Each structure stands twice: as C-alpha cells, then as structure tokens.
Structure 1
Amino acid sequence: MKFSFSPTIKMKLFMMGLVAVVALASLSFISMNAGNAVARATNENHVMLEQSQRLSDLRVSTIELVLAAMDSIIDADEGYVYDERLEVMDSSIDALRDSQELIQNAADRIGQPELAAEIAELTNTIDRVVRQELVQAIEARAGEEAYAGFDDDIDEFGEGLVDILAEMEDRIGVMLRESGTRLSKSAADSSQGAITAGLVFVTVLIAFLYVTGSTITKPIAYLTTVMEKLADGDLEVEVETARRDELGKMAVAVQVFKDNAGEKIRLEQEQEASKQRAEEEKRQTMMEMADRFERQVKQVVDGVSSSATEMQATAQQMSATAEETTQQSASVAAASDEATANVQTVAATAEELSASIAEIGRQVNQSATIAANAVDEAEATNSTVQGLAEAASKIGDVVKLINEIAGQTNLLALNATIEAARAGEAGKGFAVVAGEVKNLANQTAKATQDISDQITAIQDETNDAVGAIERIRDVITEVNEIATTIATAVEQQGVSTQEIARNVMQAARGTQEVNQNIENVSKAAGETGTAAGQVLTASQEMSRQAEGLRGEVDKFLQEVRAS
C-alpha cells in the first residue's frame, strides 16, 4: 500500500511560525551573547574609571594635606594650627584610610599588590608626623631646627605617597584605554556578526515563506473563482474535492453549497404553489373574520351609546348638587370671618404686652452683661498687674545675677592686677586693662543696686493695685448677682405672656383654617359643577362618536368583503 503525506494549512503555518521563531531566537542568542560581553567589558571599564578618579582625588587630597602642613609651619609663630588646616589634614588622612579597599583592588589590578601596603604605611607615618608631632610642636613653639626636620619629613613622605598614587593612576589609565580599544573592536565585531546572521536568517525565512505561501494561495484563488460562479447562479461548475487539507474541506463545503443551491430552487418552486393555495384560504378566513367582527363591534357600540345616556343624567344631577353646596359654603364663610377678626384683636394685644416685657428683660440682661464684662475686665487687669509683679520679680533675679557677675568680675580683675604686678614691666599693660575691668565691675554693681531699689518700689505699688482691683471686683460681682436675679424674674413673666400670646395665635390660626376649609369646600363645589358640565359634554360627544364608529365599521366590512 502506498502512503502519501499531505500537510495541512495549519501545519504549514505552524512550520512558518516555527522557522521564524527559530531564526529570531538564534539571532537574539547571538546578539545577547555579544551584548553580555560588551556589558561585562563596559562594567569593567566603569570600575577602572572609578578607581582612576578616586586615586586622582586621593592624590589631590594628599597634595592639599602637604600644603596645609607647610602653611602651618610658615605660620608657626601663631602658636596654634588654624581650624581649616586641621580640617584639611583630617579629611585627607580619613579619605586615605577609608579608601584602603579601593587602593588594594587597584594595586591587585595592575599586578603590584605591595603598593597598597606602602600607601597604608605612608598614611600612618604622615598622620603621626602631621596631625600629632607637628601640631604639638607648633603649640609648644618649637625652634627653627625642629620645623626644618618636619619640613623634610613632610616633603619626603608626602612626595612618596603622591608618586605612588600617580603611578597607580597612570597604570590604570593605560589599562582603561587598552580596554576601551578592545571594547570598541568587540562591539564592532558583534554588530557585524549580528547583521550577517540576520541577513542569512531573513533570506532563508523569505524563501521558505514564498514556497509555503504558494501552496496555499493558488488553491484559495481556485476556490474563489468557483464560489464567484456559484454566486452568479452557474450550478454547472465542477468542484475538485481531492485535497486532504483545510482547502479540501472548503471544497467539500462548496460542493455542499452547490447542492443546497439546487435544492433551494426546487423548494422555491414548491413554495410558490403553496403560496397561491394559502392566498385563497386567507381570503376565505377574512370573510369569516369580518362577519364575527361585525357582530362583536355592534354589541360594543350599542353598550357605549347606553352608557353615554346614563352619564348625561348623572352629570345634570351633580351640577344641581354643586350649586346648592356653593350657596351654603358662602353663609358659613361669613360667620367664620367675624370670629377670626375677634380672635386676631386679642392676639395683637397679647403680642404688645409680650413685646413690652421682652424689652424690659433685654434691658436688665444688658445691665447684667455690662456688670459681668466689668468683672472680666477687673480679672484681666488683676492678671496683668500680677504679671507685672512677676516680671519685676524676675528682673530682680536678673539684677541679682548681674550683681554676682560684677562681683566675680571684680575678683578676677583683682587677681589679674596681682598677676600683672608679679609679671613686672611686661604686665603693666595688662594691669591697666585689669583696672579698667575693675572700674566697670564697680559701676555695674552700683547700677544694679539702683535697679533693684526701683524694682522694689514697683513691687510695692503693684501689690497696692492688686488689693484695690480685688475690692472693685467684689462690688461689681454683687451688682451682677442683683441684675441676674431681676433678669430671671422678668424672663419668667415674659415666658408666661408669650404662652398667652401663643395660645391666642393658635386660636386665630384655627379660625383661619376653618375659613380656608370653607373656601376650599366652596371652590370644590364650583369645580364639581364645572366637571359635571364637562362630563355632560363628553357623554354627548361619546354618543356622537359611537354613531360615527358604527358607520366606519360598516364601511370597513364592506371593503374587507370586497377584497
């Protein structure tokens, strides 16, 4: 038995996609490897660049350290080292010690790990010579010979450290340039390889897609031609169904479509015959429906005419009843208006009485408020005076402190005078200054005593003011209590009067509501009469429409039967 393999379109498309994916994956793999190599080299260059920059910073920092030390030797006569120079020395030494790991890595990179140990040893030596021995010598005011020795040591150790750092920086710079050259060549080679591989993959993919696409597009074009002929009504066209792929299944479906089209034509012919029979049956059914419709509509029209007659009689009766209700409502409304006027007169009198009591209560409350405000102002004034007393007391404490400081200053001036006397001729200028300080201390003590006396007088006056304010506050508080009692009594009278006025007003509103309800009844009676007239008119119109409906139904049935 002979075996034949016919791949489906799905399989062909899958193979096309698979080839494209393999090509893309291969190209991506090549590009990724090249990119990783470039990335590693770039990272290595970045590390070397950072080491080179850091070594340069350390070299500059060491030079600044040497210059700060030399400047300190030049200004040794001052007897101390300037703070900014100490900061330069400290920051330079700390930077060298903090960078030991970086220095060790850089030394290992250039193949001279022993340089890191030399830098560490020189750092310790410079630290000892500059930050310890030199500073101590300057503070001790050492001689020129000692400073000359420090100058030689600093030159020797500083220059040695700077030379080592410069050598390491130069070596790493050379390595960085060589690595950059290799990186550029590697990137160019990787780019060229990726382009070549991409062109090869694209060429193979295009050829594969063209061959595979041809095996799909040609059968599709054939099926398209067949379906266009079938759409134009050509049922004699032949359909090839020998293929075993999806296009073969489509051809089978087209063959089924062709067969169904022939069957459709046959069914349409049969449906036309059935349609003629149905038209005849429909006409007979319409005649029967017209007869039934005539009987049913006639019954409805007769019922509507009867109901319209009854509505006319009812509407006439409603109109007479509404007229009588309107007349009775007018009589009741007149009596209600008179009662409302009497109640409103009483309510107005009660409101005037309530307003008078309210005005009295407002005046009393205002008096109580003024008294309460006076109490608050007295309290505030008392607090202010108390604060003044406390401030005076605090000023007294400060004056006492100043007096103590003046005494201590006087004592120090005395000690300085004694020391100046011991110093002899060299201390005369200092003795003059000490005398001036002593005079200033005596003047300060006298001034503080005067201030203390004034503060004592202020405190006495403040205490008298506090007592007077306390007495005023007590009197105002008593007046406030009396005013509050009067206000409470007036308020109770006002509440009683307002209650009377409220009850009278409620009675007035009640009579007004009765009057309003009577008016509503009268209005409703009038509206009822109007509605009754409208119902009468509507019933008459309904009778006329019923007669018209009967005529239209007869006309419709005649047309239906004629059709």
Structure 2
Amino acid sequence: MRLKDLSISTKLLLAFGTVLLFLTIITVLSWHRFSSVISVIDHADYSTHLNKIILEREIDHLKFVNKAGRFFTDDTLKSMQVETDDHQCALGKWLYGSERKDVENNIPALAGLLQKLEQPHARLHDSVKQINTLAGGQEKSAILPEAQKIFEGSTKSALVEVEGILREMIATVEADAAADHQQVDSFISSGRNLILFFAVLTFILGLIISFVISRSIAGSTRQLAAITDSLAKGNMTTRSTLNQDDEIGRLACSTNKLAVSLDNMCARVHCSSSTINGSAENLDKLSGTLFTAAETMSGSCNTVAAAAEQMNANMTAIAAAAEETSTNVSMVAAAAEEMTSTIAEIAHGSENARVIALQGVEEAGKASASVQELGDAARLIGRVTETINEIADQTNLLA
C-alpha cells in the first residue's frame, strides 16, 4: 500500500507513532543505562564498604598482636588476653560467616585470597593458643623465652602473612572499584552518545516524516483548490488527476463528479437556451403572421365599415324612396280625387303614376341588392371573427 493511499489520521498516527517509538527506545536505553550505572555504582559502593571492612579486620589483628604482646611486658598477665579461636575473632566471623559468600559472588577474584587467608589466620591463633598452653602449666618467667620464640617466629610471621593477604585483598578490591568507576564512566559516555544519536535520529526522522506527510496533504489540497477555482470561473472541463485512496482522494473524486454534473447541467441549460431561442424565433414569425393577419383584418374591417356606410346610404335612399312613394301615393290619391274632374288629368296622372311606380320598382330592387350586400358583409364579418378566434386560440396555445 502506498503512503498516499493511507488516510490522514493513519499518516499522522504513523508519524507520531514513529517518533514515539524512537522516544520509547531512547527511554528504554536511558533506563537500561541508568540501571547499569546504578548497578555498577552499587557494586563500587560495596567494594568501598568491603575495603573498609578489610581495613578494619587488618587493624583488629594489629590490635590483636599488640594486645598479645602485652603478655611479655605486663607481669600481671598470666596469659595472652586475646581470642584463641580463629572462628570467633572479628576476622574469623567474617571469614567463615555468610558475608563471605556475598564477597565471593560480588568479587570472584577474592575467593582464592580468602581461601589463602584461612591457613595463616589459623596459625596466628594457634600460636597464641600454644603460648597460653605453655603459660598455663609453668611459671611465666620459665616459659617467656619459649613463648617469645613462638611469638616472634609463628605469631608475627603469621600476622605478616595475614596482613599481606589482606593488603592484597584491599588492592584487588580497589582495582575492582577502579574498574567499576571506569565502567560507570564508560556507561555514562556511551549512554550519552547513544541517547544523543537516537535523539538526533528521532529529530531527523520526525522532520522527514512531517515534511513528507505535510507535502502530500498540502500538494493535494492545493490541486483541489486550483480545480475548484477553475470550476468557479466556469471551466467545467477541469478534472482532478489525484490517484489516492485517502480523504483527499475521495474529495477529489467527489469534485470530479460535481464537475461532471455541472457540465451536464450547463449542456442542458445550453440546449434549453437553443430551444428557447428557436421558440422565440417562431414566436417572432408568428407575431409577424399575426401582424399581417391583423392588417388583413383591419382591411376587412375597413371594407365592412365601407359596406356599412354603403348600406347606410342605401337605407337612406330606401327611406327617401319610401317617402317619395308615400308622396306619390298621396299624389295618386289626389289624382284619383281629381279623376272625376278631368279625364285628361287622370290620364296624365296615370302616366305619372306609371313612371313613379317604375321608379319605386327600381328603388325596391336597389334596396334588395343593398340588403343582399349587407348579408354578404355580415357573413364576411363572421368569417373574420372566426379567423380572429383561431388566431387567439393559436396565440394561447403558443403561450
């Protein structure tokens, strides 16, 4: 799995986990080094304490010899007032006690010296026991030469040998303590260098991981920001090329889907705009047609108006003819009345009546023609009205 396919939380967890891992390593190493230093320091303290004990045991035996030597200078002493059992003196209790095992476990180099110390230490106490045995059965003055010989020969030689071994033990302990101090210095130096190395390594790795993760996140977000800016400016063909499975990759995929949706929406809007433009053109053409039809209807209306005026004129003429007919009828009546007066006047009146009757017939024919024209005009008005209704229906349908 690639690093950029990991989620942001996993990347951050990986970065902090790596840093924490190295910090844990540093802590463990520090604790281990500190424990080692503490252990070595404890061992050095034990060596110092042991060195003090050995010095005390050496001083005890020097006091032991001095106290034993008072036997030769103090006439009141009948025997050497010292411990004759090599297991009961201070050195003997330490040499044959449980502390010896601790000494041998902590400083194995002393095991041979402790074993070597047993024999001269036993001879030292045996020589004192031998002198006390001599002093117990004889006068002190009688045994002094022999006791002096034993003391000078065995006691002091054993003491010298014991002191030599004790000093050798002290030197061994001091060497071990010096080695402990050197080891402490070495542990401290190496631990400091190791901790410093891991600290620097942790710092460098932290910087590298932080740089890689921040660059990955920042680069992806900058690309998405550029894509969204391009979409905001109207470039719907812009697409993200991020190929990763983290949150930013999913956001890039969603952005691409949004861009596709916006592009399709813009295409539909463009298509709708084209349709609207076509409809507008058709509406413009229809408006022209309606305008032409309106002009035609206006002409028809003018024709109807002219026909109406003509019909009005004809009706006026008919009324005038009717009035004239009435006048003629009155004249006929007058003529009939005057018929009795004279035949000539009757004949003349009949002739006039015939002429007037012919004129009335002509005027009646004209009135009938005018009425027929009026009916034709009414039918024409009906057709115009139907045409107007059809145009109105088409206009409503277009709307």
Query: Which TM-score band (shorter chain)?
Result: 0.3 to 0.5
Structure with bigger helix share is: 1
In the superposition, the TM-score normalised over structure 2's length comes to 0.47
In the superposition, the TM-score normalised over structure 1's length comes to 0.35
